[in-house]
């Protein structure tokens, strides 16, 4: 997670922000609550966490997602346009009929933007999990069949396609909301660092494919972080915070629900605890606590 600047850096940090033409949260909130817009995919939307926001059922947006938690704890005025299944392209185009492009929610009056995006580009998450889960079942959890078959395919897609799309999407966010602070959250760990034999029934991954899948996620988070920093956004690093809270852990500890025998209606997504913790990490990274 980004570290807070100490007092010796405060003046230069503020000067840098002002030079960029950005607005600090304190300045933005001096005349009232922060104007906060939440963008992003299902990890932002909290897809699978009940209750569902009835305003757009296609997006499977939860009223307990991390944007709602953040807004509740900071008193921000929230406009939530997160949508399950969103890709970077859906920032600029309608994801569903009647669903406006997410960028339409932004303006020069926006003070704060949060988002999680990139995992659906190229079908990275779903394709990797399905491919590795299927291979794990067929081999009884032995070896690294998914890695052996797919090699660097997913990593190549992230580097060659997702990263440029992230850069463009975050550049568009900055252009539409020039006065806002932008926080881009990474994805919390789905799998542990090494295989847990007790987890195969919930996450049917071969022993050698557990670190392979985690490596793909680490690469995606690295791409998200690079794009965020290049566009002057705060990257909310969830790697350390979500360690030990992956889908293999028990209820009450895990932030992410497993493929099988989970508690959410959408598997391999954050549960309510995960959404709360994501909100807390964003609040801390932005200095809003």
Identify the pLDDT of residue 267.
96
Confidence category of residue 2, pLDDT binned at 50, 70, 90? very low
Tens-place pLDDT, residues 181-194 = 999 999 999 999 99
Instruction: Output the domain CATH number for residue 223.
Output: 3.40.50.1110
For 36, 105, 175, the CA distances from 29, given in Å and listed in that order, are 11, 19, 21
Q: Is residue 2, in this structure, part of any structural domain at all?
A: no
Catalytic residue among 68, 219, 245, 269: 269
Q: Is there a contact between 20 and 92 (Cβ–Cβ < 8 Å)? A: no
Q: Would the pTM count as exceeding 0.95?
A: no
Q: Is residue 172, in this structure, part of any structural domain at all?
A: yes
Confidence category of residue 27, pLDDT binned at 50, 70, 90? very low
Q: Is residue 94, in this structure, part of any structural domain at all?
A: yes
Q: Is residue 218, in this structure, part of any structural domain at all?
A: yes
pLDDT at 203 over 70: yes
Q: Would you tell me how many other CB atoms lie within 10 Å of the CB of residue 42?
A: 26
Q: Is residue 156, in this structure, part of any structural domain at all?
A: yes
Domain interval for residue 146 = 7-286
Q: Is residue 230, in this structure, part of any structural domain at all?
A: yes
Taking residues 2-12, report their average pLDDT: 32
Output the DSSP codes for 138-178. HTTT-S-HHHHHHTTHHHHHIIIIIHHHHHHHHHHHHHH-T
Q: Is residue 274, in this structure, part of any structural domain at all?
A: yes
Q: Is there a contact between 282 and 70 (Cβ–Cβ < 8 Å)? A: yes
Identify the pLDDT of residue 20.
33
For residue 51, whether the previous peptide bond is cis, meaning omega lies within 30 degrees of 0, is yes
In sequence order, what are the residues at sequence separation of 6 or more whose Cβ sits closer than 8 angstroms to the Cβ of residue 35? 28, 76, 77, 79, 109, 110, 111, 112
pLDDT at 227 over 60: yes
Q: Is residue 1, in this structure, part of any structural domain at all?
A: no
| Measured distance CA(248)–CA(267) in Å, rounded | 12
Identify the pLDDT of residue 289.
86
Q: Into how many domains does the chain fold?
A: 1
In 1-95 the beta strands, taken as DSSP E runs, fall at 35-38, 77-80
pLDDT at 17 over 50: no
Tens-place pLDDT, residues 118-169 = 999 999 989 999 999 999 999 999 999 999 999 999 999 999 999 999 999 9
pLDDT at 259 over 50: yes
| Measured distance CA(17)–CA(21) in Å, rounded | 7
Per the annotation, the verdict on 242 as an active-site residue is no
Per the annotation, the verdict on 245 as an active-site residue is no
Catalytic residue among 7, 12, 42, 107: 42
CA nearest neighbour of 36 among 138, 89, 105: 105
């Amino acid at each position: 997670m980004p570290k807070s600047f100490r007092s010796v850096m405060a003046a230069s940090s503020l000067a840098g922000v002002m030079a960029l033409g950005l607005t600090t949260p304190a300045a933005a909130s001096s005349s009232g609550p922060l104007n906060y817009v939440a963008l992003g995919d299902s990890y932002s939307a909290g897809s699978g966490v009940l209750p569902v926001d009835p305003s757009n059922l296609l997006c499977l947006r939860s009223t307990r997602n991390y944007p709602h938690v953040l807004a509740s704890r900071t008193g921000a005025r929230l406009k939530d346009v997160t949508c399950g299944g969103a890709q970077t392209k859906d920032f600029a185009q309608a994801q569903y009929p009647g669903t406006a492009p997410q960028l339409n929610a932004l303006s020069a009056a926006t003070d704060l933007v949060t988002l999680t995006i990139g995992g659906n580009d190229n079908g990275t998450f779903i394709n990797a999990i399905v491919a590795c889960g299927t291979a794990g079942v067929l081999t009884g959890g032995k070896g690294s069949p998914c890695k052996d078959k797919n090699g660097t395919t997913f990593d190549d897609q992230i580097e060659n396609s997702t990263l440029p799309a992230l850069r463009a999407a975050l550049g568009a966010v900055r252009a539409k909301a020039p006065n806002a602070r932008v926080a881009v959250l990474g994805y919390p760990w789905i799998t542990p660092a090494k295989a847990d034999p007790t987890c195969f029934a919930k996450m049917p991954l071969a022993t050698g494919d557990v670190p392979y899948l985690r490596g793909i996620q680490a690469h995606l988070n690295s791409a998200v972080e690079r794009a965020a920093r290049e566009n002057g956004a705060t990257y909310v690093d969830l790697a350390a915070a979500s360690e030990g809270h992956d889908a293999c852990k028990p209820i009450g500890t895990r932030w992410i629900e497993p493929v099988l025998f989970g508690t959410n209606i959408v598997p391999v997504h954050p549960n309510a605890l995960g959404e709360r913790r994501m909100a807390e990490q964003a609040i801390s990274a932005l200095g809003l606590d």
